[in-house]
Structures are given as C-alpha cells and as structure tokens.
Structure 1
Amino acid sequence: MATGSSPARDRAKLLFANETFYRAFAERDVTLMSAVWAEEEPVTCLHPGWPPVEGRDSVLQSWHAILTGPASPDIECLHARAGIHRDTGIVICYERIGQDYLIATNIFIRSGDGWLLVHHQSGAAPEPGEGNAPPRRSIN
C-alpha cells in the first residue's frame, strides 16, 4: 500500500482508474485510452472474438481501431468490484453494449499514487439479474 493511503482510499483510486478506462472507451478518446495503460510494464488485451493482443503498441493500435471505427460501440460499466493484492489491483465488472452484456476483468498495477492498466479481458455474459448481480461493494 502506498505511504499514507488507507485500503478504502486505494480501492477508491483503483475504481476511479477503472472508470477512467470506461470513460475513454465511451467517449472514444484515444488520448485518454493511451494514458490509462502502463508504459513500463508488459500489457495484454483479450477483446471478445479476437486473438490475444500483446505489447503496448499493439494494444493501443487495437483500441484505436475500435474507438475510431464506424461500429465503435456505446458501452456502460456496471457493478464494478475491486480487489487489491499488494501492488496489483483487479476490477471485475459487467459491460453493457446495447442490449448485450459482457463480463470483464481489468488488471492494474500501482503507479505512484494511482493505478495503470496492464490487462483487459471481456467476454459474453448473461444479463445481471436481481438474484445474480454482484454486490455493489468492494471485494478484498
């Protein structure tokens, strides 16, 4: 844990980093998308239906294609849950794209006083219902 931080504050910063990732996606902001990904660590991405994308340049090229393409989807992040394991943060959430739902895992590393993304993976999921929706609290 960073000096002077509490677990609740660390979780809030991790969830903020996750929200920033989804804001970049929703607003089709290529510059912001680039800023959320780590530069000094290996990064990977598993887009639904794509082969694995490895390396920062390739990952950012994949996001550029998605964000600037004619079929760039509208997205909403739902039910984000965060867990922190030393300097690694994991956020699991649902993504709503139109009427479809995906479930995503976003892995971050601590960077200074914040968090940077090193891995994103999403895949098909059933619609979260009242009985099976994850709680809106953080996990640890």
Structure 2
Amino acid sequence: MTSPVFTTALEAEAAFYDALARSDLDAMTQVWSDHDEVVCIHPDGARLVGLRAVLESWRQLFAGGARLTVSVSQRVTAGNSLLATHNVIEHVALPGDDRVPPPMIATNVYASGPRGWKMIMHHASPAPEMHHAGMHDGPRIVH
C-alpha cells in the first residue's frame, strides 16, 4: 500500500483526526513519522517515545473498534517550511453518548520531509478547568 503524501501540516492533521475518529490503525500509522524520536502523550498518560511504542498505544486504544465523534476548534499554529506546531481544543465523544465530553487541549507537531508532512508529536491533556474540578484546596503550582 502506498502511503499518502501530505503536502501541508493541515492535511496531515486532518488525516490524524480522521484516523482517530475511525479507529483506523493503518491510517494512523501513515500520519506518523517513522523516526524513533516521535513522542505521544495521551490524556493523563505516560510519555511514549519511539514509533513502536506510539503505534502500540494507538493499537490498544483502537482495539475496541469504537467509532468516535471528533471535532477540533480554536487552532493556533506556528511554524515554517520544515516544522509546524498546532495547538487545538479537541472534543472527542462516543456515538450515542449524550454527555458532553470534557475538552482536551492538544499540541500536534509536524515535520516536513521527503515524504511530505508527518506527525512527530501529539500531546493531549484535559482542559484545566474540567480536570479534577474542586479537588484542589490550595493554589495550583504550574511549574
């Protein structure tokens, strides 16, 4: 199978969210760079480094085969002809689930190479105002 060539970081990002919505590991694999330095951090998850670990995490996530409803908003981008960073708000829900899912804040990083734009990092975290609401009695320490 020939991998698609994503001519922009936005094309790669659209393919990423499409693969996520369809729980399609083959499509997800085509989005990621094959370099060992790729990084993925799922919400409340550990840092995964290397393509093998990253793809295994997606395989496990997709094992149930659920089709997701995914929407992305408030995209903020920065970059140049070789590297692009996208920060987005993700809304991911299971079909038929009437609850409004808490938003996730995600940062996606793409690199341009001989085979087009590929994802090199995905980091998603629960939005602070929704994460552990009411569980902090004192001030929050950010860093």
For normalisation by structure 1, the TM-score amounts to 0.73
Q: 1:21 aligns with which of 16, 20, 23?
A: 16
Cα deviation for residue 70 of structure 1 reads 6.2
1:110 aligned onto 2:105: no
* Amino acid aligned to 1:26: A
Change (3 A) 1:69 1:34: same
Q: 2:126 aligns with which of 121, 124, 127?
A: 124
Q: Where does structure 1 lack aligned partners over 5 or more consecutive residues?
A: 1-11, 128-140
CA deviation map 1:17-54 (0-9, x unaligned)? 11110000001111010000001351110101111111
Greater percentage in helix: 1
1:49 is aligned to 44
Aligned length: 117
Cα deviation for residue 109 of structure 1 reads 0.5
**Secondary structure of the corresponding residue to residue 17 of structure 1:** helix
Maintained 8 Å contact 1:95/1:103: yes
1:63 is aligned to 58
Which runs of at least 4 in structure 1 moved beyond 4 Å after TM superposition? Answer: 70-73
Cα deviation for residue 77 of structure 1 reads 1.8
Maintained 8 Å contact 1:44/1:55: yes
Give, in whole Å, the separation in 2 of the partners of 1:70 and 1:116: 24
Maintained 8 Å contact 1:41/1:118: no
For normalisation by structure 2, the TM-score amounts to 0.72
Q: Where does structure 2 lack aligned partners over 5 or more consecutive residues?
A: 1-6, 94-99, 131-143
Change (3 A) 1:41 1:70: closer
**Secondary structure of the corresponding residue to residue 33 of structure 2:** coil
Change (3 A) 1:88 1:41: farther
1:88 aligned onto 2:113: no
The RMSD of aligned alpha carbons is: 2.4
CA deviation map 1:70-121 (0-9, x unaligned)? 6775322223232213411101111002321001000111023631001000
Cα deviation for residue 69 of structure 1 reads 2.7
